[in-house]
Structure 1
């Protein structure tokens, strides 16, 4: 019997610039759309190009993580810049999100 490897469909989102009150609703909609795609089993949010993050941006990520759990999807963050990672640590959201060093998904 041959071995079979099954890889889930992974969707990656690459936001840029600032995630703040001005664009958090649009960002959250992008995440929701990606998660609701019937083929998406894992969502990676690559924060490598994010310069700033405020509470509205954090809430968009948290709401999307809740939706991912509800839909049975994996949601991870990767390439988080040090200045942004501090925000996750101060809010203790680094204990909630899976934060990867690079664009690799763990299952």
Structure 2
């Protein structure tokens, strides 16, 4: 369902498949662990392998984002599939989240 990769400046969390009501609580649990246990101040959630996301999956991201903010951590998203990007735009969460087109764009931004 997901993988985690730690780099020097940030941790990447990469969920895969469908993020829906069927697995949203498990997804939120994994995100919570990543946010609270990471030694890095930045968590990059790479959604390139996510094929579908419903409102429950989106809400899990919002809750993890709020948790990261409360801990003074940066919560960043990249590589949204078009159908997932539409969800963010319709809910106007694309304005709340820091979203990059891909991992390379994120890395270029943090290296500046």
TM-score, normalised with respect to structure 2: 0.83
Q: Which residue of 2 aligns with 1:52?
A: 52
Q: Give the CA RMSD over aligned residues.
A: 1.6
Q: Which residue of 1 aligns with 2:75?
A: 75
Q: 2:25 is matched with which residue?
A: 25
Q: Name segments (4+ residues, structure 1) moved above 6 Å.
A: none
Contact 1:41 1:72 survives alignment (8 Å): yes
1: distance between equivalents of 2:41 and 2:66?
14
Shift of 1:93: 0.5
Q: Which runs of 5+ in 2 are unaligned?
A: 1-6
Count of paired positions: 101
Task: Give the TM-score, by structure 1 length.
Answer: 0.87
Larger Rg: 1
* C-alpha deviation, 1:37, in angstroms: 1.4
Q: Choose between structure 1 and 2 for higher RCO, CA contacts under 8 A separated by at least 6 residues.
A: 1
Q: How far apart are residue 102 of structure 1 and its match?
A: 1.2
Q: 2:10 aligns to what SS in structure 1? A: strand
| Structure 1 residues not aligned, in runs of 5+ | 1-6
Structure 1 residue 38, shift from structure 2 partner = 5.1
SS in 2 for 1:80: coil
Q: Which residue of 2 aligns with 1:99?
A: 99
Q: Which residue of 2 aligns with 1:89?
A: 89
Cα distance in 2 for partners of 1:38, 1:17 equals 23
